[in-house]
Amino acid sequence: MVKIIRSGFFTTIQDTGRFGLRHKGVPISGSMDLYSSSIANSLLNNDVKDAVMEITMTGPKMVFNVSTYLSITGADMSPTLNDNPINNYAVIKVQEGDILQFGKLKTGFRTYLAVKGGFRTAVKLGSRSFYKPITSLNCLKDGMEIEISEFQLFEPKITQMKSQSLHHFDEIIAYRGPEFSMLNKESVKKLKSQRFIVAKENNRMAYQFIETIEEHNYEMLTSATLPGTVQLTPSGKLIILMSDGQTTGGYPRILQLTKRGIAVLAQKRSGDSIAFKISN
């Protein structure tokens, strides 16, 4: 078991998500930055679907009640083990009684913590991912205990690797969405040339930008959406659906981010800026 002493700002258990249920209104959920969470699991020779801890903005403090191995990827939140600094993108041996905690956020926005064998929370609709309408909690709480497996001996194929965090990328690759053709020339020009600053309205459901493009009066029937779908409101505001985003929407779907694009955006916080690279 691992006991959460302090939960941090917003810490959840996530895996690769729930699939095959969008027709019933159930979002995929899962790690916002699947790129970083998959590397954390790979360092430990875990299955890519093993559950990890997604840590947003400020990190938790926890004590391990069993010996195991861990890895940390994504944002750099100054992790320490028993008050000694440890590196991201490395396999770390943990002994029973060791205390892991996080400090100052240096780069990025979301950190991923993996343990050997994954976190063993309850499986709901085929996934361990926390999502409030389905799971019993929306995020970790102080005093919570999470089941993990004990590993006394493990020989990783790779013990450390160069940082692969996507926080330093500011260009997001996107494809044209189903309603891209409704845009006028001015809107297309802005999308391709303007930089967009992340607004304070950003979370696991969606990201918004401060800047807008041209207003429109385009009408459409409610249609399917995906994580990474960029919707355009009548006022010209862009809404980018993320892991917990709704499964349908009535706004024009002008762009669709790639999985890597979603991961890059997930490492941005309010005030950061990005540019779209629109692929044909």
CATH number of the domain bearing residue 231: 2.40.100.10
Tell which residue, 128, 166, 125, has the closest CA to residue 36. Answer: 166
Band of the pLDDT at 203, cuts 50, 70, 90?
Answer: very high
Same-domain check for residues 74 and 8: yes
What pLDDT shows up at residue 122? 92
What are the pLDDT digits (tens) for 243-277? 999 999 999 999 999 999 999 999 999 999 999 99
- The domain tally of the chain equals 2
Residue 112 lies in a domain: yes
Band of the pLDDT at 152, cuts 50, 70, 90?
Answer: confident
Same-domain check for residues 90 and 206: no
Residue 91 lies in a domain: yes
What pLDDT shows up at residue 158? 83
Question: Quick one: what percent of the chain has pLDDT higher than 90?
Answer: 86
Residue 153 lies in a domain: no
The average confidence (pLDDT) of the chain is 94
Residue 37 lies in a domain: yes
Question: What's the domain range around 201?
Answer: 171-279
Per-residue pLDDT, averaged over 219-238, amounts to 95
Span between the terminal Cα atoms of the chain, in Å: 49
Same-domain check for residues 94 and 27: yes
Residue 159 lies in a domain: no
Q: CB under 8 Å to 213, separation ≥6 — which residues? A: 183, 186, 187, 190, 191, 194, 232, 236, 238
What pLDDT shows up at residue 104? 96
Per-residue pLDDT, averaged over 137-166, amounts to 86
What pLDDT shows up at residue 8? 92
What are the pLDDT digits (tens) for 75-127? 999 999 999 999 999 999 999 999 999 999 999 999 999 999 999 999 999 99
Per-residue pLDDT, averaged over 172-184, amounts to 95
CB 100 within 8 A of CB 94: yes
What pLDDT shows up at residue 264? 96
